Amino acid sequence: MNFLKMDVKKKEDPYIEKEIYIIVKTYPILSKKYETLICTAGLIKEQNRYKWIRIYPVSLDYYKKHYGELKKFTCIKAKIAPAKEKLSRKDSFKIKMESIEIIDQTLTDTKNVPSWEKRNKLVLPTKSKSIEDIDNLRKNKVKTIAIIKPKSVDDFLIEPKERGSKWEKELINGKQTTLVGDYEAEVRPVEHIPFIFRYVFKCNDNRCKGHKMMIEDWEILELWRKEKKSKGIEKAHKSVKYKCIKEMTERNLHFIIGTESSYNNWIIIGLYYPPKRKNRKITEFF
């Protein structure tokens, strides 16, 4: 009996191996499927230039078990692939956790001046002029992560979540997260924080009318949580505001911004705060 031979095409593996500097970590959420999740953003090198990407989901439990603490500015090698998500953001990637290999951790020391100087050489060339300058790229889902330097920081607000918009409340309640796309899992914050944190600032651009932008940075939310535990809510508010305005603006403060996964709105996902050249003293903020 003759059988027709059918050509079976192998499904092309979408994953490629890349070296990635992990620079942003968002506030963790709990997932039935992925345990304790964080979403990250970092830099990969393409054509001799670094560009920002988001990577998710990253299991803190898996990472800690196999590699220890995930420190900002750790360089890893891992297999990543374009993420399938509702917004189809071009800079969103999923990661194979088991493929991770630690390459370098020399830039993780925030008290070391030479480390900051090396960080600057990595990060600052990727800086965008302003939100206004890249907003069309955001609308087209081409560039939905960037770093900017505000012209002025005018205020830091901590508001009850009831004052937030619909999508901001969804972020706080864990119904959608800043960097994560669509995935099938029930999620909720590790510890619910019923406040919205915002920076009020202006970009260095004549088109800028000012921004009042929500913050999803792990360091700030974790700082507030620890201060609340030791001092109570009112004192925690004052302490966090002082650090985020007075102490941060004494440094060369930049905002790392990204879009949330449902409506593609900008929010602050991380801070980059190297010491100013005249101020060589290094202190810990978080």
Residue 205: predicted pLDDT: 96
Q: Is the pLDDT of residue 89 over 80?
A: yes
CA-angle at 144, arms to 143 and 150, nearest 5°? 100
The total number of structural domains that make up the chain:
2
Q: Are 81 and 161 within one domain?
A: no
Closest CA to 165 of 154, 176, 156: 176
Q: Provide the token pair at 224.
A: 């507030």
Band (8; pLDDT cuts 50, 70, 90) = low
Query: Looking at 53, 79, 104, which one is the last position of a domain?
Result: 104
Residue 216 within a domain: yes
Q: Are 134 and 153 within one domain?
A: yes
Q: Strand 266-272 and strand 254-259: pairing?
A: antiparallel
Residue 278 within a domain: no
pLDDT by residue (tens digit) across 227-260? 999 999 999 999 999 999 999 999 999 999 999 8
What residue numbers bound the domain in which 244 lies?
Answer: 113-272
Query: Looking at 104, 126, 145, which one is the last position of a domain?
Result: 104
Q: Are 146 and 240 within one domain?
A: yes
Q: Are 153 and 89 within one domain?
A: no
Residue 9: predicted pLDDT: 57
pLDDT by residue (tens digit) across 133-182? 999 999 888 899 999 999 999 999 999 988 878 777 777 665 544 444 44
Q: Is the pLDDT of residue 66 over 90?
A: yes
Residue 92: predicted pLDDT: 94
Q: Provide the token pair at 21.
A: 């500097």
Residue 9 within a domain: no
Q: Model pTM?
A: 0.87
Q: Which residues of 88-103 are buried (b: 16+ CB within 10 A; e: fewer)?
A: ebebbbbbebeebeee
